Structure 1
């Protein structure tokens, strides 16, 4: 077979070798047909071959994000986006500007504020009332486990001092019980009946806006970790994906992870499996599938809702009676996970606290005991704290560790809202990626964007250094929790390909596989560890098509959706 495209004069990291080799890579009909020295590959080259001079750059397998929220992120990019704010004052000013620029919007909706901007991580309604007194404002925080609302929003939702905290959630309150402005976890659902629905067109445009950004970061496949069954007039994200795939607008390979509604019980499984089948009947599995189910076991540590074995401490370092929130009773979780597993679907857990991790592993053990071994490839995401006695269970149960490596460093939210309220010594057990890898756990990697940047190179930098890019803080935890470059790069490529059942076609670079790859301006294996974050994606290829080229800013996404 003759090469249609030849990437030459560069380095290639196949994923099967210890490091990169100087090699050329030949592509035809969307697949890699040869990798090697010029004399090994030149036999495939003809006068019609398009030759791409890499000029010493590095080719790696395309990054695959195993935990991400692209449609929600894209919608937020097109609403009141607070992700660029660096202080409380900037966040409030951004809301004021957005409201002034959008006088006809009945609600001001958006996301992206950081908890560490505000005392205790809890902004007040009065800050918003000062700039938007006449319309409801509802803004989700950066980790998406809490929200900030103004007085008009609380009034629209009928929430007052007499409104009790819902199960699985909490309202911050003023001294007389009046909602103070911040709500956590399940309390966010109190606004569902009155907030405007997300229309289909906005969701579709959001997907395309997100895809454009993610292609520029070398991402060729992802698992969307929150694809809900729609309620009311909200757009169906599964329909958005299917329509984009049919129209040729969807370039990446997508696993749609369907949301398990913790209030809906077992009856939802029938609809989830029917939706999976509808996708399977219409699309190549390697392009789009819906064979995963997201089960959220707990909350997050910074608002004290992550489920922990130890109680949280108060502001004086004293023990409280709070161990976080388990969204399911352990026996109930076992029942649901066993049923999902029996249906042949993958379970994707949100398990952040160590008690949530124990519950998830116990549920997988119960499923295995009931259903026997299978190839469903379950995984636990986040893993902020894991008990030492649970580490070995990942390999025993064939449960993958889905790591969000960017978070494994000292930063404001970690140091002011999390570590001071956990047991002494908790830092050493924070994000124990090295320990999990040493115990034989399979690592896969994701970003949780828009909670934090989707940039794989930034996350890779933190996994290797345990410090934030460009920061001089001490590493988070002991040296043993660091990953080496190959470990985290493989997790972001072949690891995530495996979790998405794509490893036969993607994840490594070898003849016969799809030409899904990223080109980096630097050979990261030769960079000092503290400089890894400086590497930049210059090209992204999917199925032999260059879908992003930094030199020309060429995208296949319509310019009308540029954020």
Structure 2
């Protein structure tokens, strides 16, 4: 898992930009467009919408309501982000957000500016591991920033990946972390040569400090949800999978905020929340029953998935590898669940009618997940199951055919598949040449017939689908530190990538309308400002969104569009 090579684009349009978020059901004609229905380009140039429902897709159609001339640009279904954390992103953006910084000095300057503005804990995040030696910033750096402005506030800042926390000495003291502290299973406490904690906590070790931070209020969670929703609508997104719904890394459980937003008519996305499977579950059957009782299946909100974090990330050498890392520390990373636990949990969750959503970065994590899915299939899994593995950074080539054989969706975060800074500085050196060549095997998965979906992992990376599609097609990005493509034979065709980000993700999220453009269905679309099929592949990152409709209503309009 790497940071965002397009970090400056991470937030997309400002929340609330454009027209009012929700209007009356649409009466609208989009004319002179290239039309993609979620699977293929159609022989059509016009789409008509009446009363919020798509009434026609074709050529020479009689106009309905207002007419928008697309001038040849692409009209496609609304994107469905198959792996995102919009509530986390919104809460952090509205609190203390350093995701736009480009160096350690900029982060520390922002900390100095923020500390005098409040009392108690300073929390937030967005820092990049690539800006600090070894990816591990120091408590002493935050201590000095506080001393410069006369502040002794405790500080916890989550990194962009949400797998590490940077804390100051005051936070370590409150949490009782010292040279004698043993990390919880799967956690890592960075230490100096004397064994003293240095200020960076990885994976479950973050919980040692997070347990002392006041949880977000319901009002803060609601505000974060609405902020994230508005930003995503501005990028043409009309549905997403929230990859963690539960208490995680200092963030509170967002389910009540989602339920309240839908009841109030504020939820304009189609959301499927992945219920969090904790790392310390002892009674598998009881936990499966508890999560099944939290299931929601309503018009715009579903919680029909369960999230398993199988390992960590390469940058902190916590991703689970079959062979040791190439570094002095050695080791094969972290696997959070024993094989027997994982197989029993998968069986219990699927028997409860829920789908399984796995985080897997290392090759051993993907193998372990596929082994568990294979055992589930052998025991007679549900025919309607829609299980998936997200991230798939390092995949053993022998495992590629198993995705298709088992019907497991490969959930791609394509923006990371290029020579961005963390890839070059923190991933490839510890992976070595062979495993570096196994990274993000999207092309091989497509050729093998694996079901594909795509997402961003926002706020780890930009939520802008066109940035990810650019990398999926080019295996490079204009802001990457090296311009050449990363493993170019793993590139996807534009049509394949676009289908993964629309209908492929829609299937995985079990959306009713998002991700598909169909006559007789509520209008759900994103009108781009260009036709990507007519652009040079190297310009895909320039594509923007002019209009977004969700559930038959307009939810975003660029001010330049005349309506």
Counterpart contact for 2:207–2:249, Cα < 8 Å: no
Deviation digits for residues 498-549 of structure 1 (CA, Å, limit 9, x no counterpart) = 10123x6343322122211001110000100001101111111112211101
The equivalent residue for 1:434 is 443
* Shift in Å, 1:471: 4.8
Structure 2 counterparts to residues 319-398 of structure 1, below 5 A:
321-398=330-407
The equivalent residue for 1:247 is 264
Name structure 1 gaps, 5 residues minimum: 555-563
The equivalent residue for 2:86 is 70
Provide the TM-score with structure 1 as the length reference.
0.91
Structure 2 counterparts to residues 218-233 of structure 1, below 5 A:
218-228=236-246
Structure 2 counterparts to residues 383-532 of structure 1, below 5 A:
383-471=392-480, 473-502=482-511, 505-532=513-540
Deviation digits for residues 44-69 of structure 1 (CA, Å, limit 9, x no counterpart) = x46xx222232332211110000000
* Shift in Å, 1:169: 0.6
* Shift in Å, 1:380: 0.1
Distance 2:326 2:468 in 1: 29
Say whether 1:89 aligns with 2:105: yes
Q: 1:275 aligns with which of 279, 290, 294?
A: 294
Residues 201 and 478 of structure 1, relative CA distance in 2, 3 Å threshold: same
Q: Secondary structure at the match of 1:301?
A: coil
Distance 1:80 1:396 in 2: 45
The equivalent residue for 1:560 is none
Moved more, 119-128 or 170-179: 170-179
Residues 89 and 20 of structure 1, relative CA distance in 2, 3 Å threshold: farther
Counterpart contact for 1:113–1:142, Cα < 8 Å: yes
* Shift in Å, 1:231: 11
Distance 1:456 1:119 in 2: 31
Provide the TM-score with structure 2 as the length reference.
0.91
* Shift in Å, 1:28: 2.0
Name structure 2 gaps, 5 residues minimum: 1-24
Q: Secondary structure at the match of 1:80?
A: coil
RMSD: 2.0
The equivalent residue for 1:131 is 145
Q: Secondary structure at the match of 2:288?
A: helix
Counterpart contact for 1:517–1:540, Cα < 8 Å: yes
Say whether 1:31 aligns with 2:45: no
The equivalent residue for 2:549 is 541
Moved more, 234-243 or 491-500: 234-243
Residues 14 and 553 of structure 1, relative CA distance in 2, 3 Å threshold: closer
Q: 1:61 aligns with which of 72, 77, 80?
A: 77
Say whether 1:188 aligns with 2:233: no
Counterpart contact for 1:349–1:381, Cα < 8 Å: yes
Distance 2:206 2:479 in 1: 35
The equivalent residue for 1:11 is 34
Say whether 1:289 aligns with 2:307: no
Distance 1:463 1:231 in 2: 30
Say whether 1:301 aligns with 2:318: no
* Shift in Å, 1:395: 0.7
The equivalent residue for 2:218 is 200
Distance 1:121 1:484 in 2: 34
Distance 2:227 2:212 in 1: 27
Higher relative contact order (CA 8 A, sep 6+): 2
Counterpart contact for 1:462–1:469, Cα < 8 Å: no
Distance 1:109 1:235 in 2: 13
Q: Secondary structure at the match of 1:251?
A: coil
Q: 1:156 aligns with which of 162, 174, 185?
A: 174
Counterpart contact for 2:26–2:554, Cα < 8 Å: no
Residues 91 and 36 of structure 1, relative CA distance in 2, 3 Å threshold: same
The equivalent residue for 2:67 is 51
* Shift in Å, 1:240: 0.3
Q: Secondary structure at the match of 1:381?
A: strand
Distance 1:553 1:240 in 2: 33
Residues 535 and 239 of structure 1, relative CA distance in 2, 3 Å threshold: same
